[in-house]
Amino acid sequence: MNWIKPLINSQEIQAADDSLTLGETMSKEILLAFDLGASSGRAITGEIDVEHKKIKLQEIHRFPNSPIRVNNHLYWSILALWSEIKRSLVKAFNQYGNKVVSVGVDTWGVDYGLIGSNGELIAIPRSYRDPSNLKAMKTLLSKISREKIYMRTGIQFTPINTLYQIYSRLLETPELFTIAKTFLMIPDIFNYWLSGIKAAEFTEASTTQFLDPRKRNWSYEILEELGLPTNIFPEVIEPGTLLGKISKGIVDELGISPEISVIAPATHDTAAAVAAAPINENSAYISSGTWSLVGVELNEPIINKQSLENNFTNEGGAFNTITFLRNIQGMWFIQEIKRVLELRGEKYTYEELTKMAAEAEGNIAYIDPDNPRFLAPKNMITEISKYLEETGQRKPSSIGELVRLVLESLALKYRFVLERVSDLTGRRIKEIAIFGGGSKNWLHNQLVSDFTDKPVIAGPSEATATGNLLIQAVGLGYIRSLRELREYVRNSFNLRRYEPNHSSIHDDAYNKFLELTEETE
């Protein structure tokens, strides 16, 4: 049943009940979500109204996040992120006091750290964009076949996966694994620092490409074959697990309440966002941010030769679901174009870039968003220009044409992936839900609708934080099912609908795109 209503013309999240403001109902409890993305982090509170099944969000702190290049490697400033988490805790406690009852962390996937026997981090976590991963992937796949890895893990092949990251470190510095006591993914590290508990939350662990989604545990056979010590991998826990109260050390340091519960939500940001997505059995979804995650929600993984050939992934979702999807580089292109322009002294807001793209000529050229050359180029604009030159296509003559070229290419790639989804699942997709930060880009949403010839439902833009908060509510016992969780979403946010303006122009563009991607594979 489609419960997406009411649909209104609004690009931003809006409270369903505008008369309710924070502070008016002091009895409502406050949950705190730390939503850390690959380009920024946010601390967002959720005021939960159990009686009316609503949640109201407020951003209390925002901070930048980006990898730092040191020589030939890219690292995360994990201690800077930890400092921002602690600053956010103080802000939340100063604003709400003892009404803050729980905290939960979600982050991007695939990246990890190692904890020593003294409980300390023993190496700075690297970014998934680190250039060493591609070489490690090629070496590893010469030892273990793609089919063997996929049939045990159901995860798509991409050099960003933890499997190749950890193998790269093993080849470079094997001594790290002789002193490592515990392997933790990035959100698990923060949960450990918050609660003192070392555990691997299922949805994040599923992004590693060495977890079996059917057994919901590590694929020890693969780890042993690579020579990795299997005793460093902790217990896998379910999203919504109550880890305990916040640690005494943090309470003493920050002067906050000792009664705050630490809950592992769906710690992978995609899983959190999909949990809060306005989807049903007829929907596909696009979790739109730095990456675009394109797929459908399933009850069981699909792991067979066809899904392997099409490079689909079976990542963990909340409430025993599987997020069956393909990863596509998404708003990363626009973020990098904006960054390069700023280095040139040309500063534009995202809204200005979108407006220029809307006014620019369309269908002048296309790129394949999955081409590895776009993973971490030093200059995205130059890299796109080189790609167009090598493929014999017209180069954009303005910033607007460049941005539109990227947005159209993304829409075409989504169409390609969604056609594969229908083939693999047997589902007839009737509409597409776009959520996350990218859902605020109205031109992107409209182009997706036009090129796929399907209605698009856009929002909520803070789907990840919403999912984080509502799965915390699961851990607290307020929510008992995925259907009930999405009822909170339905009651709390208004969404926007885009109808397709599809024509033969879009089909001709798709055929050109298919020819291009075949030539460059």
How much is the pLDDT for 74?
A: 96
> Is 154 found in the same domain as 235?
yes
CATH code for the domain of 38 = 3.30.420.40
pLDDT digits (tens, 9 = 90+) for 491-511: 999 899 999 999 999 999 999
- Summarised one tens digit per residue, pLDDT across range 385-417 is 999 999 999 999 999 999 999 999 999 999 999
Length of the chain: 521
99 within a domain of the structure (yes/no): yes
223: pLDDT strictly greater than 50 = yes
Tokens of 168: 């790269």
Residue that has been written with the tokens 């030093």 in this structure? 378
Q: Tell me the β-bridge partners of 433.
A: 285, 457
B/e letters for 185-198, b = 16+ CB within 10 Å, e = fewer, are: bbbbbbbbbbbbbb
What is d(CA 269, CA 105) in angstroms, rounded to the nearest whole number?
A: 9
Work out the average pLDDT over 189-217. Answer: 98
**Rounded to whole angstroms, how far apart are CA atoms 116 and 127?**
20
Considering its fold, how many domains does the chain have in total?
2
Chain position carrying tokens 């060493």 = 132
Tally the C-alpha atoms within 13 A of residue 305's C-alpha that lie toward its C-beta.
0
Arithmetic mean of pLDDT, 51-66 = 96
Per-residue buried b or exposed e for 126-155, using 16+ beta carbons within 10 Å of the residue's own CB? bbbbbebbbebbeebeeebeeeebbebbbb
Q: What is the largest CA-CA distance in the chain?
A: 65
Is residue 12 pLDDT above 80, yes or no? no
Residue 170 near residue 177 (C-beta atoms within 8 A): yes
| Model pLDDT, residue 518 | 73
Q: Is residue 469 a part of any domain in this protein?
A: no
In percent, the amount of the chain with pLDDT more than 90 equals 90
Alpha helices in 41-131 (DSSP H): 78-96
Pair 49, 169 in one domain: yes
pLDDT at 517: 86
Whether 107 and 246 map to the same domain: the answer is yes
For residue 126, name the pLDDT band (cuts at 50, 70, 90).
very high
Whole-angstrom Cα Rg for the chain:
22
Same domain flag for 354 and 255? no
Strands 283-288 and 291-298: antiparallel
Do residues 254 and 90 touch, judged by C-beta distance below 8 A? yes
Cα 43 → chain centroid: 16
Indicate the SS3 state at residue 113: strand
Residue position matching structure tokens 């459908």: 296
Which secondary-structure segment (H or E) carries 489? helix 482-492
Same domain, 337 and 360: yes
Residue 467 lies in a domain: no
- Three-class HEC string of 438-460: HHHCHHHHHHHHHHHCCCEEECC
Domain-ending residue, one of 229, 245, 269: 269
> Quick one: 215 and 322 in the same domain?
no
Q: Are strands 431-435 and 180-185 parallel, antiparallel or unpaired?
A: unpaired
Q: Two tokens at 461? A: 């833009």
Same domain, 184 and 239: yes
Give the C-alpha separation, 113 to 130, whole Å: 14
pLDDT bucket at 8, cuts 50 / 70 / 90: very low
Instruction: Choose the final residue of a domain: 269, 288, 322.
Output: 269
Over range 331-347, report the average pLDDT.
Answer: 97
Neighbours of 428 (CB within 10 A): 7
Q: Is the pLDDT of residue 17 over 80?
A: no
pLDDT of residue 241: 98
**Domain assignment present for 472:** no
Q: Are residues 414 and 490 in the same domain?
A: yes
Question: Rounded to an integer, what distance in angstroms lies between the CA atom of residue 423 and that of residue 429?
Answer: 11
Mean pLDDT of 108-117: 97
Residue with tokens 């901070």: 63
Q: How far apart are CA 88 and CA 101, in angstroms?
A: 14
Mean pLDDT of the chain: 93
pLDDT attached to residue 157: 95
Decide if 262 is inside a domain: yes
Residue 18: the pLDDT is: 28
The pLDDT of residue 172 is 96
Boundary-marking domain end, from 236, 269, 302: 269
**Does residue 37 sit in the same domain as residue 186?**
yes
pTM exceeds 0.85, yes or no: yes
Least Cα distance to 319 among 440, 479, 447, 439 occurs for 479
18: in domain? no
Q: What percent of the chain has pLDDT over 70?
A: 94
pLDDT in the model for residue 39: 85
- Residue positions annotated with a catalytic role: 269
Confidence of residue 2 (pLDDT cuts 50, 70, 90): very low
pLDDT given for residue 92 in this prediction? 98
Q: Give the structural domain span for 140.
A: 30-269
Q: What angle do CA 42, 463, 244 make, to 5 degrees?
A: 65
pLDDT value, residue 286: 97
| Sign of the CA dihedral with 496 first, then 501, 502, and 506 last | negative
Return the closest-CA partner of residue 226 out of 169, 174, 154, 167. Answer: 167
- Looking at the structure, tell me whether residues 193 and 73 fall in a common domain: yes
Q: Are residues 264 and 281 in the same domain?
A: no
Q: Which whole number is the average pLDDT over 27-33?
A: 88
First CA to last CA distance, the chain:
40
Average pLDDT over residues 82-101: 98
Residue 51 sits in the same domain as residue 110:
yes
Residue 507 lies in a domain: yes
Q: Kindly state the average pLDDT of the residues 158-165.
A: 96
Give me the mean pLDDT over the 262-287 stretch: 95
For residue 228, tell me if it sits in a domain: yes
Q: Which residues contact 166 (CB under 8 A, 6 or more apart)?
A: 112, 183, 228
Instruction: Name the amino acid, one letter, at 385.
Output: S
Distances 120 to 77, 187, 228 between C-alpha atoms, Å? 16, 15, 20
User: Contact at 8 Å (CB) between 271 and 325?
Assistant: no
Cα-Cα-Cα-Cα torsion 341, 347, 352, 355, nearest 10 degrees, comes to -30
